[in-house]
Structure 1
Amino acid sequence: MSTPLSFFLYSSRLAPDCDPTEVGNIVKVAREFNASHGITGILVFDGERFTQYIEGPVSEIDALVAKLPKDRRHTDFLQLNAGDDLEERRYATWSMGYSDVSLDELDIDLMATIDGDAALNLFTKAVTEIDRL
């Protein structure tokens, strides 16, 4: 039997005292951590706001989700969607994909105002478009 998978989608804002150049370090550390914990996903940054989707074993996602809101490098942490019934990974080959985007590619503020499933659909569609570029 395969390990149950869960996913988590959130948005947040870069902390005022955190330089945007720190984002590269966030991605580097996340890739190493995720690879060793069976987590995959993608982080998107528009210069001010983040949105991140992570997926993996339920226990690993739960442990990471408990830490994420406490990270001093971001504020305004907002859960957009989550579930523990993922049948297959959306981003199986990305320990942590990364893209910086413009508002035209993904409106992160809009995602924070819509239903969780609609936010996930908007995110997934935008990432698909970004990945084709």
Structure 2
Amino acid sequence: MKHIVYVSQAEHPFSAWELANLLETSRARNVSDGISGLLIYRLNPEYNRGNFVQAIEGPEAEIDSLWSRITRDNRHHTIVVVQEGSIEARMFDGWSMGFKNADAEDLAGFAGFSDLGSDTFWSDISPASAAGALELLRNFYDGA
């Protein structure tokens, strides 16, 4: 199996309806493709900018196909892969797409937290800083 964890910037701040629509579509497709994962959305009101963090996992061919759709999706841009590779077991087993609409208070207490809405996040990100990205996402989701 394969996994990818990435961050991206929303093209515009997403409404609750847009997020619900995105999840409904994604979850249905993920179930049929054997993909599991987690999506976190955060609106930074200071910059009026939304950001996504997503982890996807599943069979390699299906992940590659999904990744192709993700990178062509015009609802977001500035896509940065923070972790990618093979996995032996799923971290998000049974989650067609776990979801959290996060705010700063939700995130600030977690070790390794970086403000995805800040300009410095995009200049400081590197693959070396992504160690443990899946575990951070899982701990956040489990603790939130």
Shift of 1:107: 2.9
Question: Number of residue pairs matched?
Answer: 127
Aligned-pair RMSD on alpha carbons? 2.2
The percentage of counterpart residues that share the same residue type is 27
Within 2, Cα distance between the matches of 1:59 and 1:117?
Answer: 26
The answer for unaligned runs of 5 or more in structure 2 is: 44-49, 108-112
How far apart are residue 121 of structure 1 and its match?
Answer: 1.7
Cα deviations by residue, 1:62-98 (Å, 9 ceiling, x for unpaired): 1111111111111111111111x20100001100000
Q: What are the residue-to-residue correspondences of 1:74-113 with 2, within 5 Å?
A: 74-83=76-85, 85-104=86-105, 105=107, 106-107=113-114, 109=116, 110=121, 113=124
Return 5+ residue gaps in structure 1 as ranges. none
Tell me the distance in 1 between the aligned counterparts of 2:138 and 2:81.
Answer: 18
What are the within-5 Å matches in structure 2 for residues 1-133 of structure 1? Answer: 5-16=1-12, 19-21=14-16, 22-47=18-43, 48-83=50-85, 85-104=86-105, 105=107, 106-107=113-114, 109=116, 110=121, 113-116=124-127, 118-119=129-130, 121-122=132-133, 124-133=135-144
CA distance in 2, matches of 1:95, 1:19: 21
TM (norm. structure 2) is: 0.77
What TM-score does the superposition give when structure 1 sets the normalisation length?
Answer: 0.82
